[in-house]
């Protein structure tokens, strides 16, 4: 019994891990195959050459798309951190009247599906002449109720004495924020940052609407382009594109998995 | 004496109102960025969507003719919208329960205290780092009629290959499988976090009294985990209603509109057919659906949830 249970656990862990990770491994293997190899129905490529990757970069300005995605995701991440932190600070440290009502309105915005607002938003962006512009991909996403909520929950755990002491010491709000709040709530900032970066990097519908040339187009839309162009003939090239797109976020996830798990669980439960 | 007391009171209220004003002013400064952004990109467009849903519009999205509730009448009678609703409901039923159960199973496995479990946690959560577009493209090939691994496996054991994405009955299942896979990472991470928050003492005393694994699961783990499960179910439900990318890459809503989920339907109505009025009516419909689901969840779900 004592040996049996770990054995069963390991068996189940390995089996499920193989199934869950299979699509990624599959895409990786295909990214090295030529069209002929695929037609023969092979599973393991004959050699690991980088021809498909080279082709993927030749067919599309993939490097430029990658840069666009990286830039947009970073800007949204920073914007969300700043805007959410400001709001959360007001909700926790400033005892203004009507605080609960305003907070409730903030939280209730989480119930508005973004898709229900996308038509007027698209029209607004058109009127502002922000089509094919970085602004349209970043600014609308700076305010995020989830982020305010997550940070507020963590700010609330800061001992009152710290705030009082800093008031007596005459620290300005900004200094208190910089010296006390940020170090104290680092996990939540990292969680929200990683979350913001991941979701922006993976955004699909909005970039599809507001970009129609290569200028600011993100890598996700590039992937769709690649897939529609190359589908008939060269799946290897398409899969090379997939691998290129998922590597940055996978690395980010592997590095921040523990933080993300802790932070998200906190936000979900409190 | 009386007058000094009065005076004091007056100055206190004066200071009070002064502080109240200062608090207000600084609070507004801190909240201003959020308030402006929410107003411009959330509240205003929500109102505008409602407004547009009562109008016929031109190709630029300007409201032209007021038609009252006709857009709503039109979509509620249109066969294609019925199909879209049916597909969306089926999709929710296919993806939410299965996804949550699979993630719970994986989280229970990965919560065992054994060597090397970290690698498995990383693998299970990995799908969270894979974008909609990338996932859908990979699964598009897995479902490929001749070269895809699924049909290759089926034919190699002597079966006849299946038209995963081309048959109306299979297409929605295929999109659902893709979606479940994509969502495993997030649900798994949240549930694992919930499991790790459960107090170890509870299990210790159960073990001492000789309770079996499944008894512990039923009597300790699931009840203690209920707030987390509740959260995961709500998020999965809302996500299912908002599905777009998989449909766009895998099926474009076809075959014969069997995978034309509601957001895809809105997208086509607005940005392919330029019918912003009816598209807005559909958007309001989506908004109300999500509102009802969230309210129902909180009303009925909350009662069955056990908080620590």
CA of A28 to nearest chain B CA: how many angstroms apart?
10
State pLDDT tens for residues A115-150: 899 999 999 999 999 999 999 999 999 999 989 988
CA of B169 to nearest chain A CA: how many angstroms apart?
23
What architecture does CATH give domain B79-304? Answer: Orthogonal Bundle (1.10)
pLDDT at A231: 61
- Listed in sequence order, the residues at least 6 apart from A145 whose beta carbon sits closer than 8 Å to its beta carbon are A106, A107, A109, A110
Interface A:B, Cβ pairs < 8 A: 268
Between the alpha carbon of residue B167 and those of residues B181, B251, B257, the distances in Å are: 21, 10, 11
CB A52 within 8 A of CB A32: yes
Domain map (residue ranges) of chain B: 2-41, 79-304
Digit-by-digit pLDDT tens for chain B (308 residues) are: 455 556 566 666 677 788 888 888 888 999 999 999 999 999 999 999 999 999 998 888 788 889 889 999 999 999 999 999 999 999 999 999 999 999 999 999 999 888 888 899 999 999 988 999 999 999 999 999 888 889 888 988 888 888 899 998 899 999 999 999 999 999 998 899 889 888 888 888 888 888 888 888 888 888 888 888 888 988 899 899 999 999 999 999 878 889 999 999 999 999 999 999 999 999 999 999 989 888 887 777 665 555 54
Counting as low any pLDDT under 50, the low residues of chain A are: 270
Judged by CB atoms within 8 Å, which residues 73-92 of A form the interface with B? 82-84, 86-87, 89-90
Tokens coding A68: 């666009």
- Look at residues A252, A111, A167 and name the one whose alpha carbon lies nearest to residue B128: A252
pLDDT at B85: 94
- Look at residues A203, A140, A119, A127 and name the one whose alpha carbon lies nearest to residue B39: A140
Helix (H) or strand (E) holding B108: helix B79-110
Identify the CATH number of the domain defined by range A53-269: 1.10.3720.10
Quickly list H helices, chain A: 4-30, 35-39, 51-59, 62-93, 99-108, 118-127, 134-138, 145-155, 160-168, 173-176, 182-184, 186-201, 205-210, 219-230, 235-269
B140 contact residues in A (CB cutoff 8 A): 227
Choose the closest CB to A246 out of B112, B131, B197: B131
The rounded distance, in Å, linking the Cα atoms of B188 and B228 is: 11
- Look at residues A74, A228, A101, A84 and name the one whose alpha carbon lies nearest to residue A148: A84
Interhelix angle B2-38/A99-108, rounded to 10 degrees, is 10
Residue count (chain A): 270
The sign one gets for the Cα dihedral B111, B116, B118, B120 is negative
Neighbours of B104 (CB within 10 A): 22
CA of B8 to nearest chain A CA: how many angstroms apart?
24
- The reply to whether A199 touches chain B by the CB within 8 Å rule is no
B280 contact residues in A (CB cutoff 8 A): 119
Domain map (residue ranges) of chain A: 53-269
The rounded distance, in Å, linking the Cα atoms of A243 and A90 is: 42
B38 contact residues in A (CB cutoff 8 A): 106, 109, 143
Is the Cβ pair A123, B61 closer than 8 Å? yes
pLDDT at A11: 93
């Amino acid at each position: 019994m004592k040996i049996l249970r770990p054995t069963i656990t390991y068996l189940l862990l390995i089996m499920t891990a193989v199934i869950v990770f299979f699509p990624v491994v599959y895409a990786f293997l295909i990214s090295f195959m030529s069209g002929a190899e695929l037609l023969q129905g092979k599973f393991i490529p004959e050699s690991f050459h980088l021809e498909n990757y080279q082709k993927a970069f030749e067919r599309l300005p993939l490097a430029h798309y990658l840069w666009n995605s990286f830039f947009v995701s970073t800007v949204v991440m920073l914007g969300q951190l700043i805007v959410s932190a400001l709001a959360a600070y007001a909700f926790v440290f400033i005892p203004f009247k009507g605080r609960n009502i305003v907070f409730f309105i903030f939280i209730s915005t989480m119930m508005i599906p973004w898709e229900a607002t996308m038509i007027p938003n698209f029209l607004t962006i058109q009127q502002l002449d922000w089509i094919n512009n970085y602004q349209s991909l970043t600014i609308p996403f700076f305010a995020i109720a989830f982020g305010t909520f997550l940070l507020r929950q963590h700010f609330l755990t800061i001992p009152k004495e710290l705030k009082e002491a800093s008031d007596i010491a005459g620290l300005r709000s900004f200094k208190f924020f910089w010296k006390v709040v940020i170090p104290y709530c680092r996990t939540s900032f990292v969680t929200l940052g990683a979350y913001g970066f991941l979701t922006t990097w993976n955004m699909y519908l909005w970039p599809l609407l507001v970009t129609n040339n290569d200028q600011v187009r993100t890598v996700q839309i590039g992937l769709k382009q690649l897939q529609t162009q190359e589908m008939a003939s060269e799946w290897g090239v398409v899969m090379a594109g997939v691998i290129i797109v998922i590597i940055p976020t996978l690395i980010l996830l592997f590095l921040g998995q523990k933080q993300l798990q802790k932070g998200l669980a906190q936000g979900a439960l409190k | 004496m009386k007058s000094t007391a009065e005076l004091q009171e007056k100055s206190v209220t004066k200071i009070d109102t002064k502080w109240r004003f200062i608090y207000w002013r600084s609070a507004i400064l801190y909240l201003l960025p959020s308030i402006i952004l929410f107003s411009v990109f959330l509240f205003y467009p929500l109102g505008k969507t409602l407004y547009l849903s009562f109008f016929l519009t031109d190709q630029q999205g300007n409201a032209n003719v007021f038609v009252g509730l006709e857009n709503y009448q039109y979509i509620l009678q249109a066969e294609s919208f019925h199909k879209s609703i049916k597909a969306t409901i089926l999709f929710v039923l296919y993806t939410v329960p299965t996804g949550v159960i699979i993630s719970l199973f994986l989280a229970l496995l990965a919560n065992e205290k054994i060597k090397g479990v970290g690698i498995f946690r990383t693998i299970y959560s990995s799908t969270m780092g894979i974008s909609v577009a990338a996932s859908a493209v990979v699964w598009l090939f897995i479902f490929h009629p001749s070269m895809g691994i699924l049909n290759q496996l089926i034919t190699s054991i002597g079966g006849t290959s299946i038209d995963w994405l081309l048959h109306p009955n299979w297409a929605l299942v295929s999109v659902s499988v893709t979606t479940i896979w994509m969502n495993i990472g997030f649900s798994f991470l949240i549930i694992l976090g919930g499991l790790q928050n459960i107090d170890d003492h509870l299990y210790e005393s159960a073990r001492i009294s000789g309770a079996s694994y499944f008894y512990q699961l039923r009597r300790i783990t699931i009840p203690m985990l209920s707030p987390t499960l509740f959260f995961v179910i709500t998020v999965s439900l809302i996500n299912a209603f908002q599905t777009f990318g998989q449909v766009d890459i895998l099926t474009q809503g076809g075959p014969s509109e069997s995978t034309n989920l509601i957001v895809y339907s809105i997208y086509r109505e607005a940005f392919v057919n330029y019918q912003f009025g009816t598209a807005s009516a559909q958007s309001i419909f989506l908004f109300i659906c999500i509102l009802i689901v969230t309210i129902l969840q909180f009303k009925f779900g909350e009662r069955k949830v056990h908080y620590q």
